[in-house]
Amino acid sequence: MTDIKSLTPDELRTQLTGAGFPKFRAEQVGGWLQKGVTEFGQMKNISGELRQFLESRYYISVATIEKKLVSRYDKTVKYLFSLNDGECVEAVIMHYKHGVSMCISTQVGCKMGCTFCATGKSGFSRDLAPSEMLAQIEAAQRDLKLRVANVVLMGMGEPLDNFDNVLRFIELVTSPQGLNIGARHITLSTCGIVPKIYELAQRKLPINLAVSLHAPNDGIRVRTMPVAKAYPMDVLLKACRDYFAATGRRVTFEYAMISGVNDSDAHARELAEKLGGMQCHVNLIPVNSVEGTGYKKSDLQRQQAFVNILTARGIAATVRRTLGSDINASCGQLKRNQLKEGGK
């Protein structure tokens, strides 16, 4: 069976005309898929023969809402979706002044094993297909009757460990025949898989790249992020500089502040030195406590002191506003609870 929503409109047309159906039929099918139908039976104006053909050869990826939590504070919505095979992923809708942002998953689980991350602790199951990334957005749009303006690949999974599918997703979601979300409204977050950063740079997509740094040196970084053993910080930061040189896009560094681990004044000074002269922005995130990690977030005073040291040294830095604090909106945690309850 072929995953119909992972095909580009051109591929779909070629396959259907190749099977003897006229071009306008392919366009009708494409139109229904764009509208977000979840079954071939909902394609009202296609012939019975075509419907049967589609049902025998293709399937439509659907994200079904298993759980939905809505924050009372800021209307942040967190979803646990099940996919066609019963695997579950998380996604979050956030309301910002500049529009609705959605954080989606790119894998079921993750292989990278970061010690502070709920997803990393749950292990890896499989990659998501491009259609399954789209399905998360479509399901939320349908449910909330809104348009997603910005997409962040910061849910479960490491996007650059699922490179081809993520790039195809970006091609599909930015397509005028798809959800038509501009590449400038897409942010890809990576733990720092250096060869893939270079591969991404070659594509010269106008997307935003976020790199999870979370430490000012390799000594601390390897303790929380095993990927740092393969790609030390100087190699990673060089890749980020080269990325900027190749694309002209400023890199954002994510830095989860963990009390007593990476949040001292000395750490801030060391970080500022490493990032000196770079076109970048540091996004400080008070770490979300995950059961079993023992990590606690830095207090407000620490956060401010850290920002001040970076900005005084010419590094743009802000503390990310916490949204959905009452529903534990950081990804991986809903699924972890479900696993504990005996789910998939």
Residue 193 touching ligand SF4 (CB under 6 A): no
Strand partners, 316: 281
For residue 130, report the phi and psi dihedrals to the nearest 5 degrees. Answer: -50, -40
Chain residue at closest Cβ approach to ligand SF4? 120
Span of 37-45, 72-80, 113-121, 125-133 interacting with ligand SAH by CB under 6 A: 113-121
Residue selected from 66, 132, 158, 263 as contacting ligand SF4 according to rule CB under 6 A: 158
Size of the site for ligand SF4 (CB under 6 A): 11
Residue selected from 88, 128, 153, 191 as contacting ligand SF4 according to rule CB under 6 A: 191
Cα–Cα dist 233/44, whole Å: 55
Catalytic residues: 90, 331
Return the exposure string of 217-240: e unless at least 16 CB atoms fall within 10 Å of the residue's CB, then b.
Answer: ebebbbebbbbbeebbbeebbebb
Token pair, residue 308, equals 């001040």
Residue 154 touching ligand SAH (CB under 6 A): yes
Burial class from Cβ neighbours inside 10 Å (0-12, 13-18, 19+) for residue 134 reads buried
Residue selected from 76, 119, 187, 208 as contacting ligand SF4 according to rule CB under 6 A: 119
Span of 107-115, 170-178, 240-248, 272-280 interacting with ligand SF4 by CB under 6 A: 107-115
Burial class from Cβ neighbours inside 10 Å (0-12, 13-18, 19+) for residue 166 reads buried
For residue 322, the minimal CB distance to ligand SF4 (Å) is: 17
- Which residues 6+ apart lie within 8 Å of 238 measured at CB? none
Residues interacting with ligand SAH, by CB under 6 A?
114, 116-117, 154, 158, 189-191, 212, 214, 254, 256, 285, 287-288, 290, 330
User: Which residues of this chain interact with ligand SF4, rule CB under 6 A?
Assistant: 110, 112-114, 117, 119-120, 157-158, 191, 212
